[in-house]
Amino acid sequence: MTATVGQQAQAAARANDVWKVYGSGEAQVIALRGVSAEFERGRFTAIMGPSGSGKSTLMHCLAGLDSVTRGTVAIGETTVTGLGDGGLTKLRRDKVGFIFQQFNLLPTLTAKENILLPLSIAGRKPDPAWYDTVIDTVGLRDRLDHRPAQLSGGQQQRVACARALVSRPEVIFADEPTGNLDSRSGAEVLGFLRNSVREHGQTIVMVTHDPTAAAYADRVVFLADGQIVSELIEPTADTVLDTMKKLDTPAEVGS
Amino acid sequence: MFRATLKSLLARKVRLILSGLAVVLGVMFVSGAFVLTDTLGRSFDSVFADGFSEIDVNVAAKPKVELSEMEGEQTAAPLPAAVVDRVRQVPGVASATGVVNADGARVIGSNGKVVTSFGPPQLGENWTGESDLLKLREGRAPQADDEIVINKGLATAAKVQVGQKVGVLTAFESKKRDFTLVGVFGYSGDRDSIGGVNEVYFTTPVAQRLMLGAPDAFSSITVQAADGVSDEKLRDDVGRTLGADYEVKTGEQVAADASASLKEGLSFFNKILLGFAAVALLVGTFLILNTFSIIVAQRTRELALMRAIGASGRQIIGSVVLEAIAVGLIASVLGLAAGIGVGALLAFLFGKLAGGLTLAGIGVPAAAVIGSFAVGLVITVVAALLPALRASRIPPIAAMQDVATPDRPLTKVTIAGSLVTGIGAVLLFLGLSGNAGGQTLATILGGVLFAFIGVALLTPLISRPVVSLLGVIFSWSVPGKLGRLNSGRNPRRTAITAAALMVGIALVTGVTVILDSAKGSISALAQDTIKAELVISGQQGGPRPPSFDPGVLDQAKALPGVRLVDGEYGDMAKLDGKSTWVAASSDIASLRQIFGAKATAGDIDRLGPTQMLASSDEATARGWSVGSTVKVQPTRGEVRTYTISGIYESSQLTNPVTLPVQAAKDFTIPQPIQGFIQLAPGARVADVQPQVETLLADSPEVSVADRDAFIKQQTGQLDGLLTMIQILLALAIVIAVLGIINTLALSVLERTRELGLLRAIGLRRGQTMGMITVEAVVISVFGALLGVAVGTGLGAAVVEALKDEGITDLILPWGQMGVFLGLAAIIGVVAAVLPAVRAARINVLGAIAHD
Note whether B761 contacts A98, CB cutoff 8 Å. yes
Are residues A89 and B764, on separate chains, in Cβ contact within 8 Å?
A: yes
For chain B, domain boundaries = 55-262, 462-531+708-851, 548-698
Contacts of B695 (CB under 8 A, 6+ apart): B552, B555, B556
Distance from CA of A45 to the nearest CA of B (A): 21
pLDDT of residue A252: 42
Give the pLDDT of residue A5.
45
Please tell me which residue of chain A has the smallest CA distance to B755. Answer: A106
Give the residue from B104, B117, B74 showing the smallest Cα distance to B172: B104
Number of A:B CB contacts under 8 A?
62
* Contact with chain A for residue B489, Cβ under 8 A: yes
Domains along chain A with CATH numbers:
42-54+83-252 (3.40.50.300)
Chain A residues whose beta carbon lies within 8 Å of the beta carbon of residue B760: 65, 92, 98
pLDDT at A170 over 50: yes
**What is the distance between the alpha carbons of residues B716 and A116, in angstroms, rounded to a whole number?**
59
Q: Which of B22-31, B207-216, B601-610 has the lowest mean pLDDT?
A: B22-31
Q: Note the pLDDT of residue B308.
A: 66
Of A148-152, B191-195, B560-564, B573-577, the range with the lowest mean pLDDT is B191-195
Confidence of residue A197 (pLDDT cuts 50, 70, 90): very high
If one counts every other C-beta atom within 10 angstroms of the C-beta of residue A248, the result is: 11
Cα torsion B50, B51, B55, B57: sign: negative
pLDDT > 80? residue B12: no
* Position A205 pLDDT exceeds 90: yes
Across A146-159, b (16+ Cβ under 10 Å) vs e yields bebeebeebbbbbb
| Burial zone of A141 (CB within 10 Å; 0-12 exposed, 13-18 middle, 19+ buried) | exposed
List pLDDT tens digits, range A71-121.
999 998 889 888 887 888 888 888 888 888 888 888 878 899 889 888 887
For residue B486, what is the nearest residue in chain A, using CA coordinates? A108
Is residue B59 predicted with pLDDT exceeding 70? yes
Contacts of B126 (CB under 8 A, 6+ apart): B98, B99, B100, B201, B202, B203, B204, B206, B207, B208, B218
pLDDT of B70 over the 60 cut: no
d(C-alpha B195, C-alpha B184), whole Å = 17
> Which A-chain residues 15-44 have CB contacts (< 8 A) with chain B?
none
Task: Look at residue B149 and give its three-state secondary structure.
Answer: strand
Indicate the DSSP class of residue B169: E
Q: What is the least distance, in Å, from the CA of B371 to any CA of chain A?
A: 45
Q: Starting from the edge strand earliest in sequence, which strands make up the sheet with B246-250, in order?
A: B93-99, B220-225, B57-61, B246-250
Most A CBs within 10 Å, among B464, B481, B752, B761, to test the A interface: B761
Contact B529, B654 (CB under 8 A): no
Q: B475 or B740: whose pLDDT is higher?
A: B740
Q: What is the pLDDT of residue A8?
A: 44
- Please, what is the average pLDDT of chain B? 83
Neighbours of B601 (CB within 10 A): 17
Q: How far does A129 lie from chain B, in Å, by closest CA?
A: 22
- Answer whether residue B305 shows pLDDT above 80: no
Buried b (16+ CB within 10 A) or exposed e, B24-34: bbbbbbbbbbb
Task: Tell me which of B305 and A98 has the higher pLDDT.
Answer: A98
pLDDT of B161 > 60? The answer is yes
Higher pLDDT, A219 or B472: A219
What is the signed CA dihedral for A38, A39, A42, A46, rounded to 10 degrees? 150
When pLDDT is averaged across residues B571-592 and rounded to a whole number, the result is 88
Nearest Cβ partner of B762 from A102, A109, A121?
A: A121
Contact A92 B485 (CB under 8 A): no
Instruction: Identify from A22, A57, A83, A102 which residue to disrupt to test chain B contact, counting B C-beta atoms within 10 A and taking the largest count.
Output: A102
Of A89, A121, A149, the CB nearest to B478: A121
* Percent of chain A residues past pLDDT 70, beyond the cut: 93
> Which has the closest alpha carbon to B737: B654, B667, B835, B846?
B835
Q: Under DSSP, is residue A109 helix (H, G, I), strand (E, B) or coil?
A: coil
3-state secondary structure of B619: helix
Give the gap in angstroms from C-alpha A106 to the nearest C-alpha of chain B.
7
pLDDT in tens, B387-429: 888 888 877 666 655 544 555 677 788 888 888 888 888 888 8
Instruction: Find how far residue A103's CA is from the centre of its chain.
Output: 13
Would you tell me which residues 333-392 of chain B have a C-beta closer than 8 angstroms to some C-beta of chain A?
Answer: none
In terms of DSSP bridges, do strands B147-151 and B177-187 run parallel, antiparallel, or are they unpaired? parallel
| Residue-level pLDDT at B225 | 87
* Cα four-point dihedral sign A62, A65, A68, A72: positive
Nearest residue in chain B measured CA to CA from A100:
B848
Residue A250: which pLDDT band, with cuts at 50, 70 and 90?
Answer: low
Q: What is the pLDDT of residues B483-524, one digit of tens each?
A: 888 887 778 888 888 888 888 888 889 888 988 888 888 888
Flag whether residue B484 sits within 8 Å of chain A, measured between CB atoms: no
- Chosen from A89, A94, A156 to mutate, greatest number of chain B CBs within 10 A: A89
CA distance B136 to B199: 13
Q: Using pLDDT thresholds of 50, 70 and 90, give the confidence band for residue B344.
A: confident
pLDDT above 90: percentage of residues in chain B = 12
Residues with Cβ within 8 Å of residue B568, at least 6 apart in sequence = B583, B584, B585, B586, B591, B672, B673, B674, B675, B676
pLDDT digits (tens, 9 = 90+) for B757-771: 888 888 888 888 888
Does B767 contact A121 at a Cβ distance shorter than 8 Å? yes
| Non-local CB neighbours of B38 within 8 Å, separated by 6+ positions | B343, B363, B364, B365, B367, B368
Q: How far is B37 from chain A (nearest CA, A)?
A: 53
Residue of B482, B762, B845 with shortest CB distance to A118: B762
Q: Is B135 helix (H, G, I), strand (E, B) or coil?
A: strand
Q: pLDDT at residue B695 above 70?
A: yes
- Burial label for B795, CB within 10 Å (0-12, 13-18, 19+), is buried
* pLDDT tens digits, one per residue of B546-561: 888 888 888 888 888 8
- Residue A66 with chain B: CB contacts under 8 Å: 845
| Model-level ipTM above the cut of 0.90 | no
The pLDDT value recorded for residue B82 is 87
Instruction: For residue B826, count other CB atoms closer than 10 A to its CB.
Output: 11
**Distance (Å) from the alpha carbon of A199 to chain B's nearest alpha carbon:** 24
Residue A7 has pLDDT above 50, yes or no: no
A176: helix, strand or coil: coil
Name the minimum distance, in Å, from the CA of A236 to any CA of chain B.
30
